[in-house]
Amino acid sequence: MELNHSDDYNKYVKAELDKLYESLVRRYEEVHPARESFQEHLADSSQVSSLSTFNGHESPAVGRELMHGMSQASVDSLDTHATSQPPQPILNWALLCEGLMHQHEGELDEENDQQMSYIKDVLTMRSPWKTTLTYHALKKDNARPFSSLSRMKSLRMQEAALDQSCLQPFVRQPNSKLQIVWSLLGSLFIIWDLITIPLELFDDQNMITFLVLVGKISFVYWLLDMPSHLIFGVEVDGFLELRPRELARRYCRSWFAIDLTVIMVDALLMLLQELHGSEPEGSPVRSARYLRTLRLLRLLRLLRVAKLQQELTRLANNFLSTYAFMVMKVVSGLLMILAVNHLIACCWYGIGRWTFDSGDSWLINADIDIEDLANAYAVSIHWSLTQFTPATNNVAPVNAVERFFAVWVILLAMGTFSSFISSITTTVSTLRAARAEQFKHHSILVRFFNERNLSTDLYGKINDILKRQGAYDIRVKEQNVNLLQGIPDRLKVDLHEEMFMSSLMQLGIWRHWHHTDDFNFCREVCNLAMCEHVATPGQDAFMPGTDCEEVYIIESGSMGYIARQLTSFESELCESGEVLCLPCMWAEWLHRGRLAANTGVTCYYNGINGEKFANLVKRHGPLWQYLQIYGILFIGEVEHMDAEDIFVTDKCISATKVDDIAQRAK
């Protein structure tokens, strides 16, 4: 009974569907001509054919189902339209054209997929920008105009102090080429005097004549050096002093008296030498003892040796690396010991020559020919070196003057030589430790590659990059200065303000904000949300597809940016003051390119943590509201550009659009 009832129901549904089908077909034929109806069936059949022939994406089962359904419809409809079927060639041409069109559309889709190979990032606003505002009571005594923050600063390190005097245009900085060349000449003249002036105690007339000629040239240099202190700037406690009046005051308090004394003595000696040439033979002025006394006065020039360390330090800071400076320190210590012994040897010979006429001299006792200057100097320097080291020598003092001088040299050697040995030992130990640490790291790198059997090409590239990184001098980072870790927090806030405030003001979001806000906000951002970075040539700042946590502001130098949408390796230049990854301030952002130091220079850039910035600004009323609206408009613009298939990079949108968003956010 139930079976009959089910059969009756199926027959009823089938009959109704047949009536509906006939009604729809009849209505369709009334609206469209029979030929167009056939073309629709033809198009449907060609679509199935193209799907199975050209695209190849549908499965065989799906193709069979579509073909079976359409064949049934064709049989039912073509019974009444068999006479209107087109010829077979036309059908073949239609199928061919349809297939070619589908193939062309597939190539276009593939090309578009290559250009837009990246998956568009979904920008999600950071949680602090989604919550309600927490109002913060602003103190009026700390409130300052926000737009004036970038102008508030004191004299910074390496900044120049200037005045309006007439000599100001002629003042040169300490690292200028003119001052470096002038310091180099001064160092050479000091070294020349240190070597040659003591040699005048050896009565060689030809050598003395040449030394007097060179002494006149050096006299002109030192005469010009005195006024040069008015135009050569100096570095004082980190800032550059370039004010002529202050330079003159500092020179008068330091070297002016010594330089004036030495210049006057040199002028007096040159005058006496001229008088010596005009005196007749037999005059006391032309006696040998008188000439030796005049030569002793020239030893006052050696007071300038105290300047030598200052001049050499200035030159070393401009041209030497850390390792070279340490090696130079050891070499300079050895040379200084030799210079001291050279001076002592010449004085030792001079004392023996002074008492030679009386017959009581170490020269006579050692049977030294005073005419043989080379032998006399060799014996003198040998005796001097034995006083500094535990060595023996057959030369001994004879009279009281010589013994007193020998005692003085021994006392000097006791203090000088021990300190010199300890200084060299410390420097060499430091240099050896630095080299040992470097060798240890390199050995670990080689072991890492050997244990994993990695390629030599990759090792060569990495080793080359590491060598080049060591060749570049970078400034000291804050975390590397241990003394700064223990300073009070209030001073750290001031330190970070001076380090990062100028970079923070580079953000375009402040350009149209003219309200009064708590000045402590910017100090908090600098202290809690900003950090410094450095990229030496060859290093990467970030890679495409990685999480972005910071907004980057280039402080100095330049880097190259390569967007991941581009197929070429040409990079866009990013210079000082440029801002990257600004959407990270409001939304979760993935890097859309690679930022690398590929311009050949070291680049310093600062970062602002987006999450910390949002948490800090939330406590600052109107500013938070302004930045929230700004962020919504900014992220909306980025999403609109993504939707329009416009390439959006980490460099983001143009300055014109940024200004427009700021105007709308107000």
Q: For 547-606, what is each residue's pLDDT tens digit?
A: 999 999 999 999 999 887 665 567 889 999 899 999 999 999 999 999 998 888 889 999
Burial 464-481 (b: 16+ CB within 10 A, else e): eeeeeeeeeeeeeeeeee
How do residues 319-336 score in pLDDT, each as one tens digit? 666 677 777 778 888 888
Tell me how far apart the alpha carbons of residues 257 and 186 are, in angstroms, rounded to a whole number. 18
Q: Indicate whether 442 pLDDT > 50.
A: yes
Contact 54, 99 (CB under 8 A): yes
Tell me how far apart the alpha carbons of residues 382 and 213 are, in angstroms, rounded to a whole number. 30
Q: Report pLDDT for 278.
A: 64
Q: Report pLDDT for 4.
A: 53
Q: Indicate whether 345 pLDDT > 90.
A: yes
Q: Indicate whether 145 pLDDT > 90.
A: no
pLDDT band at 282 (very low <50, low <70, confident <90, very high): low
Please work out, in degrees rounded to the nearest 5, the angle formed at the alpha carbon of residue 214 by the alpha carbons of 210 and 217: 150
Read off the pLDDT of each residue in 360-380 and give the average, rounded to a whole number. 87
Contact 356, 364 (CB under 8 A): yes
DSSP type of residue 380 = H
Q: Report pLDDT for 139.
A: 41
27-36, 451-460, 504-513, 636-645: segment of lowest average pLDDT: 27-36
Read off the pLDDT of each residue in 164-172 and give the average, rounded to a whole number. 88
Question: Phi and psi at residue 540, in whole multiples of 5°?
Answer: -110, 135
Averaged pLDDT score across all residues of the chain: 77
Start-to-end C-alpha separation, the chain: 81
129-143, 438-452, 463-477: segment of lowest average pLDDT: 129-143
Q: Report pLDDT for 94.
A: 61
Q: Report pLDDT for 408.
A: 92
How do residues 71-119 score in pLDDT, each as one tens digit? 344 334 334 444 444 455 566 656 666 665 666 555 555 444 444 444 4
Q: Report pLDDT for 102.
A: 62
Read off the pLDDT of each residue in 1-18 and give the average, rounded to a whole number. 65
480/59: higher pLDDT: 480
Residues contacting 35, CB < 8 A, separation 6+: 84
150-164, 352-366, 537-551, 645-659: segment of lowest average pLDDT: 150-164
CB neighbourhood size of 548 (10 A): 19
DSSP type of residue 245 = H
Q: Report pLDDT for 82.
A: 41
* Strand, helix or coil for residue 207: helix
pLDDT band at 48 (very low <50, low <70, confident <90, very high): very low
Report for 55-64, 146-155, 222-231, 271-280: range of highest mean pLDDT: 222-231
- Alpha-carbon dihedral sign for residues 12, 13, 18, 19: positive
CA dihedral 273, 274, 280, 281 (to 10 degrees): 30
Contact 638, 648 (CB under 8 A): yes
Q: Report pLDDT for 136.
A: 43
Q: Indicate whether 133 pLDDT > 70.
A: no
Q: Report pLDDT for 407.
A: 93
Read off the pLDDT of each residue in 26-30 and give the average, rounded to a whole number. 68
Q: Which two tokens stand for residue 283?
A: 């005059």
How do residues 376-408 score in pLDDT, each as one tens digit? 999 999 999 998 888 888 888 999 999 999 999
Please work out, in degrees rounded to the nearest 5, the angle formed at the alpha carbon of residue 256 by the alpha carbons of 252 and 261: 145
496/115: higher pLDDT: 496
pLDDT band at 33 (very low <50, low <70, confident <90, very high): low
11/9: higher pLDDT: 11
Tell me how far apart the alpha carbons of residues 318 and 335 are, in angstroms, rounded to a whole number. 21
Contact 413, 388 (CB under 8 A): yes
How do residues 196-219 score in pLDDT, each as one tens digit? 888 888 877 788 888 888 988 999
Tell me how far apart the alpha carbons of residues 534 and 532 are, in angstroms, rounded to a whole number. 7
Tell me what percent of the residues of the chain surpass a pLDDT of 90: 19
Q: Indicate whether 463 pLDDT > 80.
A: yes
The two most distant CA atoms of the chain are separated, in Å, by 166
Q: Report pLDDT for 31.
A: 56
Beta strands in 332-439 (DSSP E): none
Burial 228-265 (b: 16+ CB within 10 A, else e): ebebbbbeeeeebbbbbeebeebbeeebeeebeebbeb
Tell me how far apart the alpha carbons of residues 336 and 343 are, in angstroms, rounded to a whole number. 11
Q: Report pLDDT for 394.
A: 86
Q: Report pLDDT for 69.
A: 41
100-114, 155-169, 174-188: segment of lowest average pLDDT: 100-114
pTM for this one? 0.56
pLDDT band at 480 (very low <50, low <70, confident <90, very high): confident
Q: 619-622: long-range contacts (C-beta < 8 A, 24 or more apart)?
A: 619/134, 619/136, 620/136, 620/138, 620/517, 620/518, 620/521, 621/133, 621/135, 621/136, 621/138, 622/515, 622/517
281/141: higher pLDDT: 281
pLDDT band at 142 (very low <50, low <70, confident <90, very high): very low
Q: Indicate whether 340 pLDDT > 80.
A: yes
Tell me how far apart the alpha carbons of residues 165 and 152 are, in angstroms, rounded to a whole number. 26
Q: Report pLDDT for 599.
A: 84
Residue type, 245: R
